Amino acid sequence: MKKFFGGADLKRDIPASIVVFLVALPLCLGIALASKAPPISGIIAGIAGGIVVTFFSKSSLGVSGPAAGLVTIVSAGIIYFQDFAGEVNGFQMFLCAVILAGVIQVLMGVVKLGKIVAFFPGSVISGMLAGIGVTIVLKQIPHAFGYDQDYVGDINFNQADGENTFTEIWNHTDAVAAGPTIVFGIAILITLIWGLKFMKKSSITNIISAPLVTVVVGALLVLFFDGGEFDIASAHLVAIPEINGLGDVFGFGPDLEAL
C-alpha cells in the first residue's frame, strides 16, 4: 500500500494528481459527448481508468484515461448497435462488446501475445491517430464558434442533415455566438502562450499545465458571462444527470442479458 499512500514522492504526487483530475474530468465529459455516449459514462470510465486500472498496473509511468483517438471507434460502435436495439439498449449492448473485448485482451496478456504489436509499423499507427485528430478538429470548428445545429457525434463526412464536414464549417459563419467564440479564442491563446520558449523555461509551467489553465479560465468565463450580453446557452454546456445512489450509476451499465 506504500506504493499508493506513502513514500518520498507523495508531496509531488498529490499536486500532480489534482492537476490530472481537473484536466481529465472535462476531457472525460467531452469525449463521452463526442462519442454519443451519456456524459455520466465518461465520468465512470475516467474513474475506472484512473483508479481501478492504476491499482492493478505494475508500471509507475503508465497513463490510463480518456483518449480522443477512440472517439470515432466508440461512436461508430454505438451507432451500429442503436440501429437495431434502440437508443438506450444500443449503448448497453455496446458496453457488452467492450467487456468482451476486455476479456480477450486479458487472455492475450495471459498467453503473452503482447509482442504481436511489433507487426504493426509505428507510421501506420501515427497516420491513423493523425487522421482521427484532423477529423475531430474539423468537426469541432463550428461548435467552437457556437454553432450547434448539428450534434457533436456526427463523425461521418456526409452528415445526416445533408451537409458535409466542409460545408458545415462554412454554414456556421451565419450563426456565430460571441460567448463561445471568446472562450475558444482565449483557450487557444493560453495554449499558444504556454508553448513559447520563455514560458517553457519558467518553473510555473512545470507546476501548472496549459490544459488546466484553459479549463479553469473557461469555467470562470462561463460564470462571468451568465445572464449578460455574452451569455453562453445551455446547449454549449454539459448536462450531467442527477445521481442519487449506486443504483442510478448501474443503470448506465451493460445489458448483461445481451451477452
Classify residue 2: in a domain, yes or no: no
Q: Count how many domains the chain has.
A: 2
114 and 163 housed in the same domain? yes
Reduced to 3 states (helix: H, G, I; strand: E, B; else coil), residue 236 is helix
Q: Check residue 241 and give left, alpha or beta (phi > 0: left; psi -120 to 50: alpha).
A: beta
161 and 201 housed in the same domain? no
Classify residue 187: in a domain, yes or no: yes
132 and 19 housed in the same domain? yes
188 and 84 housed in the same domain? no
Closest by CA to 143, choosing from 217, 75, 235, is 235
156 and 64 housed in the same domain? yes
187 and 117 housed in the same domain? no
Give the integer Cα–Cα distance in Å for 165 and 167.
6
Q: What is the pLDDT of residue 48?
A: 81
Give the integer Cα–Cα distance in Å for 217 and 256.
42
90 and 138 housed in the same domain? yes
Q: Pull the grid cell for residue 229.
A: 450580453
Give the integer Cα–Cα distance in Å for 253 and 125.
31
**pLDDT under 70: residue ranges of the chain:** 1-9, 11, 15, 59-63, 65-66, 68-69, 85-88, 148-156, 160-161, 241-242, 245-259
216 and 121 housed in the same domain? no
pTM of the shown model: 0.65
19 and 120 housed in the same domain? yes
Q: Give yes or no for a contact between 61 and 37, defined as CB atoms under 8 angstroms apart.
A: no
Classify residue 4: in a domain, yes or no: no
Reduced to 3 states (helix: H, G, I; strand: E, B; else coil), residue 141 is helix
101 and 156 housed in the same domain? yes
Cα R_g (the chain), whole angstroms: 20
Q: What is the pLDDT of residue 1?
A: 47
Largest CA distance in the chain: 61
Long-range Cβ contact pairs of 217-222 (< 8 A, separation 24 or more): 217/186, 217/187, 217/190, 218/183, 218/186, 218/187, 221/182, 221/183, 221/186, 222/179, 222/183
Give the integer Cα–Cα distance in Å for 127 and 18.
32
Return the amino acid letter for 28. Answer: C
Q: Give yes or no for a contact between 141 and 166, defined as CB atoms under 8 angstroms apart.
A: no
Domain that holds residue 243: 9-177+233-258
247 and 214 housed in the same domain? no
Q: Give yes or no for a contact between 67 and 30, defined as CB atoms under 8 angstroms apart.
A: no
165 and 58 housed in the same domain? yes
Q: What is the pLDDT of residue 212?
A: 79
Classify residue 254: in a domain, yes or no: yes
Hey, which bits of 61-123 come out as E strands?
none
Q: What is the pLDDT of residue 134?
A: 83
Classify residue 1: in a domain, yes or no: no
